[in-house]
Amino acid sequence: MIAPPILALLSLSATALASKCNQHHESTINYTTISGYFLQDEPTTDPLSFDYTMVNYGLLNRSYTTDKEFDPHGKKTQWQRFAHHVDMLNRKAEKNTQYKVLFMARHGEGYHNAAESYYGTPAWNCYWGPLDGNGTIVWKDARLTTTGLAQCAKANNFWRQALIEAKIPAPQAYYSSPLTRSATTANLTFADLELPAVRPFAPTVKELLREGISIRSCDERSSKSAIAALLPNFRFEYGFTEEDLLWRGHDGKGETEDAQEVRAKAALDDIFVQDESTWISITTHSGQIRTALKVLGHREFGLSTGQAIPVLVKARKVAAVPATTVESFTAEATCEAPPVTSVQGQGCVCSSAASVVVAVEATPTSA
Ligand SMILES: *[C@@H]1O[C@H](CO)[C@@H](O)[C@H](O)[C@H]1NC(C)=O
Ligand SMILES: *[C@@H]1O[C@H](CO)[C@@H](O)[C@H](O)[C@H]1NC(C)=O
Ligand SMILES: *[C@@H]1O[C@H](CO)[C@@H](O)[C@H](O)[C@H]1NC(C)=O
Ligand SMILES: *[C@@H]1O[C@H](CO)[C@@H](O)[C@H](O)[C@H]1NC(C)=O
């Protein structure tokens, strides 16, 4: 079988991907988070209780060196002055350096989130998660619950008001995970806003923005045509395959953290190499954002459902480092019935009647 483009991309290292798109064979992208601009950058901000919609997306109230020339009479909003400051950073940047502001949002609550809370994480991971649902609800490629829909409406209200009053820059580009909960969240968050004509809501689905590819059915995506039918206004990146070729739950195998990090960097590299926009919206998942923040050198900041985080990113094209090989998928154990519990580092503790189910071979492959 000929590898489709996405799989071919995944089998390359992030380094190779960046250089392939650049037609320079020896470069990669080095990311740093420029802190001091957002509350979420501060070590003292508690992610658990944080709500970006209450605090202007977290933008700190401060002055910038560029205020004097841009806003001598103090008439501009914080976002206008910040946007001007970021423009200046880009204008003065060295040739191999660019700055972007990422608005990274986690989807609203999905049926899989509700089920994990209902059953508890051990029972979810070891038994329920790999099933498609429980007879009452379906959590395979989960849709949003009413709570999730309300979180999207809240995000939509935030943007509606912030665009008008705070004059937050509208995203120039929108990217979404292919999983239904995130794509729907993007759709509802940016629906019916008064956006500048040159910055319409025209989202692109990117395979590599999906959640960690666990054996659970919530991490298996729907077909391209099903996504297109649900969200006709969404575009698909080049090479997006009809079927989900990455999920390996049927073999009892899940993506490793190392592989997820390579994938998160590849997704960012792809966006940074191909998209000249400065203001970029990315709607994705808790695990994917956690991993992206690590790649970007941001402090850890766990997002609740429906929450979002802005990051000012400095990206430099640098000489490539030798590609490392990581184990991409490993077997994940489960139980044949709801487990007694699961133990960190040890896995599922099945009841004596229900034996552990482990996929047989777990051959390391290169990611
Ligand atoms: C990126 O560059 C900075 C400054 O040169 C360096 O300290 C850092 O280790 C680099 N990060 C990565 C991931 O290579
Ligand atoms: C900045 O000030 C405004 C108006 O006083 C306030 O609404 C907003 O929450 C402040 N932002 C932060 C991050 O403290
Ligand atoms: C299925 O899970 C939901 C929680 O997400 C729960 O409310 C419902 O009662 C469960 N159904 C059955 C048959 O246990
Ligand atoms: C997408 O958004 C449009 C409004 O902009 C709405 O009519 C439609 O129902 C939404 N679809 C989904 C699946 O969220």
User: How confident is the model over 24-41, as pLDDT tens digits?
Assistant: 458 999 999 999 999 999
Predicted pLDDT of residue 78: 98
Could you tell me the CA-to-CA distances from 88 to 35, 41, 92 in Å, in that order?
A: 17, 21, 6
The protein residue with its alpha carbon nearest to ligand 2, atom 7, reads: 55
How far apart are alpha carbons 221 and 249 in whole angstroms? 12
The 3-state DSSP class for residue 363 equals coil
The 3-state DSSP class for residue 61 equals coil
Provide the domain limits for residue 31: 4-366
Confidence of residue 358 (pLDDT cuts 50, 70, 90): low
The answer to whether residues 37 and 312 touch, using CB atoms and an 8 Å cutoff, is: yes
| Ramachandran quadrant class, 297 (left: phi over 0; alpha: psi -120 to 50; beta: rest) | left
| Pocket mutation for ligand 2, best pick of 44, 53, 55 (most atoms within 8 Å of C-beta) | 55
Confidence of residue 340 (pLDDT cuts 50, 70, 90): confident
Domain total for the chain? 1
Q: Which residues are catalytic?
A: 107, 211
Model confidence at 10: pLDDT above 90: no
CA of 334 from ligand 3 middle (Å) equals: 20
Pocket flag, ligand 2, residue 162 (CB < 6 Å):
no
- Lowest mean pLDDT, pick from 4-18, 129-143, 153-167, 258-272: 4-18
Report the residue count for the chain.
Answer: 367
The answer to whether residues 280 and 101 touch, using CB atoms and an 8 Å cutoff, is: yes
Task: Give just the sign of the alpha carbon dihedral 313, 318, 321, 324.
Answer: positive
Ligand sitting nearest the alpha carbon of 200: 4
Model confidence at 98: pLDDT above 50: yes
Q: Which residue has the higher pLDDT, 329 or 11?
A: 329
CA of 306 from ligand 1 middle (Å) equals: 31
Model confidence at 103: pLDDT above 80: yes
Half-sphere exposure in the Cβ direction for 107 (13 Å, CA): 31
CA of 183 from ligand 4 middle (Å) equals: 10
Flag whether the pTM goes above 0.85.
yes
CATH number at residue 253: 3.40.50.1240
CA of 50 from ligand 3 middle (Å) equals: 29
Model confidence at 88: pLDDT above 50: yes
| Pocket mutation for ligand 3, best pick of 137, 140, 147, 218 (most atoms within 8 Å of C-beta) | 137
H runs (alpha helix) in the chain: 5-11, 14-22, 67-70, 78-92, 111-119, 121-123, 146-161, 180-189, 224-230, 257-274, 286-295
Among 143-152, 327-336, 339-348, top mean pLDDT goes to: 143-152
Task: Give just the sign of the alpha carbon dihedral 121, 116, 209, 293.
Answer: negative
How far apart are alpha carbons 298 and 313 in whole angstroms? 9
Model confidence at 366: pLDDT above 50: no
Model confidence at 332: pLDDT above 70: yes
The answer to whether residues 175 and 204 touch, using CB atoms and an 8 Å cutoff, is: yes
Ligand sitting nearest the alpha carbon of 40: 2
How far apart are alpha carbons 273 and 275 in whole angstroms? 6
Pocket flag, ligand 4, residue 283 (CB < 6 Å):
no
pLDDT tens-digit map of 290-313: 999 999 999 999 999 999 999 999
Q: What is the mean pLDDT of the chain?
A: 91
Average pLDDT, stretch 161-184?
98
Model confidence at 8: pLDDT above 50: no
The protein residue with its alpha carbon nearest to ligand 2, atom 2, reads: 61
CA of 147 from ligand 3 middle (Å) equals: 16
Q: Which residue has the higher pLDDT, 226 or 20?
A: 226
pLDDT tens-digit map of 127-145: 999 999 999 999 999 999 9
Q: Which residue has the higher pLDDT, 11 or 99?
A: 99
